[in-house]
Structure 1
């Protein structure tokens, strides 16, 4: 008969049961509850009740899913100033903020492009002069935070409905070459009967320069004999905007 030491029943029966180590319960990151609360505030009260950094956090939730985005949002605002300025900042400058890589910077620029498209929708197929505030909002969203000067033209039909919106020239930080003959040529190609001139001052100050005024008057004098009206020349800056017509300069 086999000895007890060879009895596998006794062998297994006498061995101590292995200790089962339970995986330590991991606490949820603190920011998850904050995300839920912020989403709930947005859902119940809307975006108007949220500060810029909170709206920016909501955007970053999707772009940076496994991190606390509040410090990143506040760092972006500390660097650029406002939510609009964050979205308007060039991608390479966004990436200088800790936590913002190429993918997140690109996604923020996509959000900015969508916002501009939304603003443009407010003035498309509408009588522009009766929607003047929307026109100003659109111009500001499109140009206020550009790092270089742009010269934009809004082309209107005989009912003052927007036909086209085009950036005709892009220049340096403080100068854009504008050619009145090219402005009028394009208006004639589009059968526009009125135009609104727009350009930005990257310095932030929208005050028209002497060169701005002289150039505008030259375009007006060239356009008038051809039946094309120049309704206004709007200058956009980070610190506001200026209407040459409102300032009685044209």
Structure 2
């Protein structure tokens, strides 16, 4: 009789025995050691910690290298770029579909800068030189009518109608008595001459002789006498004596006068 006692199962149907740590294969199976679950979990924890430490060291070294390069590198100044110009012709814009659309489209910044540049550009309206009205042609009648000239009351023929000017140098003609005669005097360098033809002189007639034959000499007046004269402003005048009255200080003459521009 075998003295060896049969082994007692430590678990039923492969259950784990809490006292021995072994697992029975069936009711009477061979005892096998349980896997070292705790040791495997500790090894995984150490591997994860090591990987985290290596990643941290790499991050610190990379940050140091980047900051060193930034401190030693010389910054390159930005290069100014002019506005983009399009080299497409009007015919090419309709070719290529998408290319034409991409060339014609502009960014909001470029459109805004172009618009602000155009609005900032000063716009100067075109200026036209002032136009002076053309002067009247030579020979145009500036004034015409009857004119009385009395003693000590000279006349400025350049005013319309002729009146005595407060500036004595602007007066052209005056009258005065000389004995029983009555005289016509050119004032302030005015030139005059007696027209001896029976036909009344025109503008062309007086203009043709006044500069060469005119003088500042006093002239004796009589009814019907015709005189060509120049004025201080360069106009021409024709005076025809119509009436003479008075003696001495009340001497007066009435003239038919025509003044022309020259």
Task: Bin the TM-score by the shorter chain.
Answer: under 0.3
TM-score, L = length of structure 2: 0.20
Higher strand share: 2
Q: Per chain length, whose mean CA-contact separation is higher, i.e. which structure has more relative contact order (CA < 8 Å, sep 6+)?
A: 2
**Structure with the higher helix share, 1 or 2:** 1
